[in-house]
Structure 1
Amino acid sequence: MNCLERVFIELIINSDQHTKLIIDQNQLSTCLRYLGLSFQNFNHFLANIKAFYNMSSHDILILYASQTGTAKYVAEELERQLILREFKTLLQSMDDYAITNLPEENYVIFVVSTTGQGEPPSNMINFWQFLLIKDLPNDALEDVKFTVFGLGDSNYQQFNSMARKLYQRMLQLGAKIFHERGLGDDQHPFGYDGELDSWTEKLFESLKNIFPNKQYENLEEKIKQKPQPRYQIELIKENMYEEQAQQKIQENYKLIPTPQGCKKNQMIVSRVVENELLTPADYDRETRKIEFEFDSNDQTSYNPGDILVIHPENSHQLCKDLADHLNLSLSQIVRITKNEKSLQQFKNPFPEYITIEQLFKQWLSISTPPTRYLFKLMSYFTNDELHNEKLIEISSKEGKEEYYNYVVKEKRNVFEILFDFGTVQIPLEYLIEGLSLQKPREYSISSSQLSNKNRVSITIGLVKYQTPFKRSIVGVCSQYLKQIELKQQKVIAWIKKGTMEMPFNDPTIPVILVGPGTGIAPFMSLVEQRNILIERQQLTQEQYSNKTFILFGCRYKQKEFYYQKFLEELHELNRINLFTAFSRDFDSKVYVQHLLTKHYEVFGDLIANNFEKIKIFVCGTAKYMPKQVEEGFVELLTKYLEGDSEKAKAIIQNLIKKRQYVVEAW
């Protein structure tokens, strides 16, 4: 290898997202000519060489697909455990990984969540579509050994669907299993940890047979050693900071990571212009219509079925309490950089310079329960023997019951935990490593842009409940939106395509919309849009009547019948067909699925006469409703078909397969 080649290899290996090459242009031109490259394809060359270097420098590749960040945390914890045992690892999200390198990998651990109704997370879609290419040979991955851990919720019908599908597809392409598949269930008393801990323990037994020279025994002393932090933090004195940099800090919100499934560079900076209470003021449930306005120059567009993704802020009081506990000022500026001594590979998600208030309010999830890893980090920073033992216990697999009772069930946040363990003096760089990033929240859009191109509204139920020990808990985002000042404070958001592909431009396509409670939200968007289009297109009653069927249900008509006046007016005009069920207003409880069987002839005719074009959408809570509604459709068709239940099931399954029957549940 000559000198020029060594320069390039050194450049490639050591470059990262914060490194800039400063080189004389003549020298660079000489290097490119030597390699037969142009300036245009140099970056492509650099990426390929870096990918090859990374691929050849690790024992195990860990790939994760995560919608809310849980699978990412599991993957990071696996990486920490592997590094402890002296494995060389490469950890990446599926959308960051160059999938064309997959056939050259030796050992791969997949950590995969499932979203929606058995669909891949946003950062898995491209990876999954590539694996589904029909022309891939059956031996494409014959040299790859893999295992899968899935994160799911057995309340959903498609429990751990993507982990199961990925497992089967890898086998179809010739890959071999080196460790049994694991399927975590959020309904387990200990959540996904209930399966993860035992699966991980067996994983290292499998790896011991494959990599016998790694360290598996006598790890106690290594565990006691304080790990290198991921980050380095420098406190910046106010007089050291230039006015130009101060302006840059004020625009840090522009660097908030784009949520999965949203397009980069399409952040919406909006303000709340309407905050309407939809339930009685003295009612124990609180539902609001919140309307946002964005700049008149904003080119944001959305359609019925789309989702507004909101980046919430933690409460000012909680931020102040945490800062005071750490002896920090909210106005303190800090510089956050990667610690080059850390063995973990990761992207630094933080702005280089940021105030403590920004860090706590916008970037870190300080309102929600932290993971067990924070307790492990805290154990290194106390001289109190009892606190140290308790923190180690809670962070261990043996202490997961205590962790769930103390943290998860009681929804304790980081400030409350640090307050309880008052002897812990954890440095900021370790604290931010032990916390998750602030998670965006998704809400179905309940307005039509045809009514106002610069406004969008959502319908939200405020989250508030009591823990087993009667601690009052409120939802981070719903509380943030409830208390926000009208037309004052910036709200950061994005538009995301939902799973419901509604026929929003044609009011003559028949639809059945099943939306109990706040599940009505996305259907309000479609109903409003259809009503406007009926006027604009001057459709006749024959063209638009009996095309939009809405099934709405709630507990009490007088307290929870959202948008009652608007819906009943459209029903009177024959622009919608409205069916309602109020479960607590009568002695016998009636739910939306009962409306289907009660009016089986109406819905049976509608489906039979429009089988090729009808659309059925179901939206609401995931626990029981989606399955009960599907069973209701099967039952109504069974009655309509005079008892032929097999044919009724086949009809519904066919509609599901063709995505004419779509569920969006949470």
Structure 2
Amino acid sequence: MDDSPTRFLLVYGSQTGQSQAIAEEIAERCAALNIFADIHCFGKIEKEFVLESERLVVIVVSSTGDGEPPDTVCKFWRRVKRKTLPKDHFSNMRYTLLGLGDSNYGSYCKCPHMIDDRLQELGATLFMKPGFADDAEGLEVVVEPWIEALLERLCSMFDLPLPDQGEQAVKPSSERVVEPSSERAIKPSSERVVEPFSEQVVEPSSERAVEPSSERVVEPSSERAVELSSERVVESSSGRAVEPSSERVVEPSREQVVESAKSTEFFSKDTSAADAFLAETAKSNLSLTTSDEKKEIHSLESQPSKKSLKEWVDCIPVMNEAMLTTPVTPGPYVHLNYISNTSLDNNEDMPIQNNAKLPFSCSSVVQASVLNICCLTKPKSLKKTLCVELDTAGLTDYQSGDSFSILALNSEEEVSWLLDRVKVRRPHDQVELGILSDTTRKRPSIPEFINNPSTLFEIFYKSLDIRHIPKKALLKLLSNCCSVMDERLRLLYLSSRQGADLYKREIIETRRGLLDVLHAFPSCTPSVECLIENLPRLLPRAYSVASASHASTLKFAFNVMELPSLGSLTHRKGLVTGKLDKIFETSQERSSTVGIYLRSQHHFRLPSDSSLPLILIGPGTGVAPFIGFLQDREIQMRAQVKLGECLLFFGNRHEESDYLFREELSDHLSLGTLGALHVCFSRDEQRICTTGAKYVTDLLWQQSKVLANLITKHSAIIYVCGDARNMAKDVNEALTGILKVENGYTDDEVLTVMRGLKEDKRYREDVWL
């Protein structure tokens, strides 16, 4: 196969699996066009492939940590960034790149941009403009049209029929088809592929799009969906490995799509171009969608909208499927076999997720005893905030500000409900997963994080994220599992390009997942095999260390996540925060343990030079890592180490009920480890009237002269911890405005200064969504 005239190298770099999934989709669709994608992980470089010998390369890669390469890409990046490499090192290579990121974070797509820049510096030539997909907007918005453009470009290069010429672009694979149980049988029609954009070759690097000077380049990566002291919920959808053996797709006018893409430079690095393209497609009724690797998006908890399920379903149009452009879905590949009638009620001896490498891990997993849990908020607070102290059992190789992960388990109640819904009658019997003999998937394999053999209950309880947000391809699979035509067409609409805006608003933004979908569409009965094939790995939850470096006990703080009830599923909470809250409510601290490990990201630490001034900005639970900072400064002070000035800005809702770590902060203020403490409470009218500060950004402006002086004349280090979507962006804008006003900078000058702060690691963020 390596000698195939239609061969190219397809290499991916992924931390949580999203880049890999997209690369595998590309390989599947190429195979249907008789194009051979030699697919490899970046981590296998020099073992399975040698990049220098390749002539045609497609790269799919995301960012992680502080905009750094995923673990599997680190070796490659160390090699190519060597200054001793000649300028023509990759002069024989043509490539294109798809980067995945999240613009809620300051280092949006930083790693893909770095790789793209470096390859061109070493002589490589783009054969198609790179794409940069933004999970904040929905990855399908870029990923789907980019893949279609890639297919068309490859067909042109290999002199093969284009996807819309003659043969079908995607040949239906062998599929499990579920006959509807209702009287109205659903008979899907023939399928053909959406026509990709035409894309011209981009030759020399001088033709590349210029990056706007205002682009943010450093700080938290697009790969860390949940950072630190807060947890969010993301639920997931599922479906039976059922697809119609054929389904017709009617694409929009090719001329409209191509002209829109060309006129806005959709695939350039300038993210505003993507916005312009979306506006154009909206005008022409071409709603596109995408899919990206949002760091640890799976570790977030969902917050569905206040609409009732009926209201939500009613807002979804019922449209003739011939008018819808839906995603291509791969064929099934999992075969399920029960091992006699052997029951396994206790799976405690099974390895954790089959001992598969855990994301961002830099230590072994330790079962840490829960020593103490206290509530930091008063009963009338809108959010319940807990502070937990763990016995780290010798796992003390961490510093204040570092992060660690706690292994998560799904709700037993939700798992039981789900397995019953998909008609699993023997959840505790041993099963073995195999590969279907007639599958058309390339290189199919059972996920490495699933114990095999195991039981279905154990698989769904410990390994699969049943709260993950469903991708469009999964919604399409679910539509084929509906016995009621009305429900099928509504789910098809959500998976279609025409329904992109609704999908973003009602699925992504409201965090609707598998359980929401199954409750909303009662005739949808997917197979358990399809759930295993399409649900992602259940990822650990990440938190900030809120204690001193190398301490024998580890503290962290978080808000307990409350989820709406779904039918019989009541009192739902975050997977980790709910477990810890239950331990707290039942006073079982001393008899409980949690599995934890240290994470490999270490950018949010105190500077090595303790004399530098510190500006700490952490509203809500974002203040937690700064408690550890102050404890370290106290140790340094007692050792007579010279300390720089330290200012902390904290805000929350109500002073009486939400003033987190009040006593600790007061003690550090008295001790001198904290030089100034500025607080505000957004819902205390008296406080607002007397100080004029409602949010932390108001506090920053009140201290504008002090901040500008510390930043520009005394090399202060800025730390921001908290919400990425709103707070972090508002803080960035406030500091930008302060430097501009106090120092008389022009717009370009202040953007250069802010970029320099981030590149020099003087502006550090630890933020979550």
> Is the CA contact 1:513–1:523 (under 8 Å) kept in the aligned structure 2?
yes
> Is the CA contact 2:380–2:657 (under 8 Å) kept in the aligned structure 1?
no
Match of 2:78 among 124, 129, 153: 129
Q: Does 1:209 align with 2:156?
A: yes
Q: What is the CA-CA distance between 1:396 and the residue it aligns to?
A: 4.3
Distance 1:605 1:121 in 2: 37
Q: Does 1:618 align with 2:717?
A: no
Match of 1:79 among 12, 27, 31: 27
Residues 340 and 303 of structure 1: is their aligned pair in 2 closer, same or farther, counting only changes over 3 Å?
A: farther
Residues 302 and 195 of structure 1: is their aligned pair in 2 closer, same or farther, counting only changes over 3 Å?
A: same
Q: Name the SS for the 2:414 alignment partner.
A: helix
Uncovered stretches (5+) of structure 1, i.e. residues with no partner: 1-52
Aligned to 2:758: 656
Distance 2:556 2:712 in 1: 34
Match of 2:628 among 509, 525, 528: 525
Distance 1:502 1:579 in 2: 20
Distance 1:56 1:302 in 2: 50
Distance 1:577 1:398 in 2: 56
Q: What is the CA-CA distance between 1:571 and the residue it aligns to?
A: 0.5
1:8-157 matches, cutoff 5 A: 59-98=7-46, 101-115=50-64, 118-157=67-106
Q: What is the CA-CA distance between 1:604 and the residue it aligns to?
A: 5.1
Aligned to 1:598: 702
Residue identity in the other structure for 2:429: Q
Aligned to 1:6: none
Out of 567-576 and 114-123, give the one that drifted further.
114-123
Aligned to 2:145: 198
Uncovered stretches (5+) of structure 2, i.e. residues with no partner: 177-329
Aligned to 2:540: 440
Aligned to 1:165: 114
Distance 1:643 1:103 in 2: 45
Instruction: Give CA-to-partner distance per residue, 1:49-71, whole Å, 9 cap, x none.
Output: xxxx8798982333333344433
> Is the CA contact 1:445–1:521 (under 8 Å) kept in the aligned structure 2?
yes
Residue identity in the other structure for 1:307: S
Aligned to 2:428: 331
Aligned to 2:168: 218
Aligned to 2:580: 481
Residues 54 and 549 of structure 1: is their aligned pair in 2 closer, same or farther, counting only changes over 3 Å?
A: farther
> Is the CA contact 1:153–1:160 (under 8 Å) kept in the aligned structure 2?
yes
Q: Name the SS for the 1:259 alignment partner.
A: coil
> Is the CA contact 1:618–1:664 (under 8 Å) kept in the aligned structure 2?
yes
Residues 496 and 213 of structure 1: is their aligned pair in 2 closer, same or farther, counting only changes over 3 Å?
A: same
> Is the CA contact 2:630–2:668 (under 8 Å) kept in the aligned structure 1?
no
Residues 60 and 457 of structure 1: is their aligned pair in 2 closer, same or farther, counting only changes over 3 Å?
A: farther
Distance 2:675 2:40 in 1: 49
Aligned to 2:308: none
Distance 2:5 2:417 in 1: 44
Q: Name the SS for the 2:172 alignment partner.
A: helix
Aligned to 2:370: 272
Residues 425 and 84 of structure 1: is their aligned pair in 2 closer, same or farther, counting only changes over 3 Å?
A: farther
> Is the CA contact 1:499–1:662 (under 8 Å) kept in the aligned structure 2?
no
Aligned to 1:232: 335
> Is the CA contact 1:58–1:90 (under 8 Å) kept in the aligned structure 2?
no
Instruction: Give CA-to-partner distance per residue, 1:565-597, whole Å, 9 cap, x none.
Output: 111111112221132231423143443344444
Distance 1:96 1:511 in 2: 42
Residues 132 and 92 of structure 1: is their aligned pair in 2 closer, same or farther, counting only changes over 3 Å?
A: same
Distance 2:161 2:367 in 1: 50
1:449-488 matches, cutoff 5 A: 449-450=549-550, 452-453=551-552, 455-464=553-562, 474-484=573-583, 486-488=589-591
Q: What is the CA-CA distance between 1:644 and the residue it aligns to?
A: 9.1
Distance 2:493 2:747 in 1: 54
Match of 1:322 among 411, 418, 426: 418
Instruction: Give CA-to-partner distance per residue, 1:21-57, whole Å, 9 cap, x none.
Output: xxxxxxxxxxxxxxxxxxxxxxxxxxxxxxxx87989
> Is the CA contact 1:499–1:664 (under 8 Å) kept in the aligned structure 2?
no
> Is the CA contact 1:154–1:185 (under 8 Å) kept in the aligned structure 2?
yes
Greater RCO, CA 8 A, separation 6+ = 2
> Is the CA contact 1:249–1:354 (under 8 Å) kept in the aligned structure 2?
no
Q: Name the SS for the 2:577 alignment partner.
A: helix
Distance 1:68 1:183 in 2: 18
Aligned to 1:492: 595
Residue identity in the other structure for 1:417: V
Q: Name the SS for the 2:30 alignment partner.
A: helix
> Is the CA contact 2:152–2:162 (under 8 Å) kept in the aligned structure 1?
no
**Structure with the higher fraction of residues in helix conformation:** 1
Q: What is the CA-CA distance between 1:291 and the residue it aligns to?
A: 2.3
Distance 2:360 2:559 in 1: 24
Residue identity in the other structure for 2:417: D
> Is the CA contact 2:721–2:767 (under 8 Å) kept in the aligned structure 1?
yes
Residues 548 and 497 of structure 1: is their aligned pair in 2 closer, same or farther, counting only changes over 3 Å?
A: farther
Q: TM-score, normalised by structure 2?
A: 0.68
Instruction: Give CA-to-partner distance per residue, 1:234-254, whole Å, 9 cap, x none.
Output: 22235498xxxx998623226
Q: Does 1:292 align with 2:240?
A: no
Residue identity in the other structure for 1:301: D
Distance 1:346 1:98 in 2: 23
Q: Does 1:352 align with 2:435?
A: no
Q: What is the CA-CA distance between 1:356 and the residue it aligns to?
A: 2.2
Q: What is the CA-CA distance between 1:354 and the residue it aligns to?
A: 1.9
Q: Name the SS for the 1:222 alignment partner.
A: coil
> Is the CA contact 2:476–2:491 (under 8 Å) kept in the aligned structure 1?
yes
> Is the CA contact 2:33–2:170 (under 8 Å) kept in the aligned structure 1?
no
Residues 197 and 504 of structure 1: is their aligned pair in 2 closer, same or farther, counting only changes over 3 Å?
A: closer
Distance 2:14 2:433 in 1: 25
Residues 55 and 335 of structure 1: is their aligned pair in 2 closer, same or farther, counting only changes over 3 Å?
A: farther
Distance 2:737 2:748 in 1: 11
Residue identity in the other structure for 2:172: K
> Is the CA contact 1:567–1:578 (under 8 Å) kept in the aligned structure 2?
no
Q: Does 1:429 align with 2:529?
A: yes
Q: Name the SS for the 1:586 alignment partner.
A: helix
> Is the CA contact 1:336–1:351 (under 8 Å) kept in the aligned structure 2?
no
Larger Rg: 1
> Is the CA contact 2:66–2:601 (under 8 Å) kept in the aligned structure 1?
no
Residues 219 and 642 of structure 1: is their aligned pair in 2 closer, same or farther, counting only changes over 3 Å?
A: closer
Distance 1:603 1:458 in 2: 28
> Is the CA contact 1:458–1:521 (under 8 Å) kept in the aligned structure 2?
yes
Match of 2:400 among 304, 307, 313: 304
Q: What is the CA-CA distance between 1:316 and the residue it aligns to?
A: 1.0
Residues 640 and 663 of structure 1: is their aligned pair in 2 closer, same or farther, counting only changes over 3 Å?
A: same
> Is the CA contact 2:604–2:766 (under 8 Å) kept in the aligned structure 1?
no
Out of 109-118 and 431-440, give the one that drifted further.
109-118
Q: What is the CA-CA distance between 1:627 and the residue it aligns to?
A: 4.5
Aligned to 2:222: none
Q: Name the SS for the 2:512 alignment partner.
A: coil
Q: What is the CA-CA distance between 1:301 and the residue it aligns to?
A: 1.9
1:537-556 matches, cutoff 5 A: 537=639, 539=640, 543-544=642-643, 547-556=645-654
> Is the CA contact 1:446–1:457 (under 8 Å) kept in the aligned structure 2?
yes
Aligned to 2:615: 512
Residue identity in the other structure for 1:577: G
Q: What is the CA-CA distance between 1:483 and the residue it aligns to?
A: 2.8
Q: Does 1:375 align with 2:478?
A: no
Q: What is the CA-CA distance between 1:89 and the residue it aligns to?
A: 2.7
Residue identity in the other structure for 2:624: A
Distance 2:113 2:580 in 1: 38
Distance 1:108 1:250 in 2: 44
Q: Name the SS for the 2:111 alignment partner.
A: helix
RMSD across aligned positions (CA): 3.7
Out of 128-137 and 407-416, give the one that drifted further.
407-416
Residue identity in the other structure for 1:113: S
Aligned to 1:33: none
Give the % identical residues.
Answer: 24
Residue identity in the other structure for 2:431: V
Aligned to 1:365: 465
Q: Name the SS for the 2:382 alignment partner.
A: coil
Q: What is the CA-CA distance between 1:221 and the residue it aligns to?
A: 6.2
Distance 2:435 2:134 in 1: 34
Aligned to 2:246: none
Distance 2:704 2:489 in 1: 63
Residues 506 and 415 of structure 1: is their aligned pair in 2 closer, same or farther, counting only changes over 3 Å?
A: same
